[in-house]
Amino acid sequence: MASNRITVRVSQTLTARLRNRSRAQGTTESKLVREALESYLGHSEGKRSAYELAEEAGIIGSARNAPKDLSTNSRYLKAFGKGK
């Protein structure tokens, strides 16, 4: 992928937030900035999976105190869609 370098000035607070997020996600600050720009500008180089979209939305791991096999054990779906 050919790339261009740009320089952007941001506040110390925003720099710290970017650094913290990149460390938490185990990725580079540059990658996060590219993803943020793609998201803001409405164009992405590649399609994201449903998992990536759910993770970005913050719903991965949001079911606290749920059984460990909730997504794989069919007994939890036994009454699904049958009302109360």
Is residue 4 a part of any domain in this protein? no
Is residue 83 a part of any domain in this protein? no
The reported pLDDT for the residue numbered 27 is 94
pLDDT band at 84 (very low <50, low <70, confident <90, very high): low
Give buried/exposed letters for 41-66 (b at 16+ CB in 10 A, else e).
eeeeeeeeeeeeeeeeeeeeeeeeee
**Structural domain that includes position 73:** 12-77
* Residue 80 pLDDT exceeds 70: yes
Number of domains in the chain: 1
Going by C-alpha positions, the residue among 61, 79, 81 that lies closest to residue 71 is 61
Is residue 84 a part of any domain in this protein? no
Is residue 6 a part of any domain in this protein? no
Is residue 7 a part of any domain in this protein? no
Is pLDDT larger for residue 42 or for residue 19?
19
| 25-43 pLDDT per residue, tens | 999 999 999 989 888 887 6
The reported pLDDT for the residue numbered 72 is 85
| 29-78 pLDDT per residue, tens | 999 999 898 888 876 666 778 887 888 888 877 778 888 888 788 888 88
* pTM attached to this predicted model: 0.49
Is residue 2 a part of any domain in this protein? no
Is residue 60 a part of any domain in this protein? yes
Helix (H, G, I), strand (E, B) or coil at 40: helix
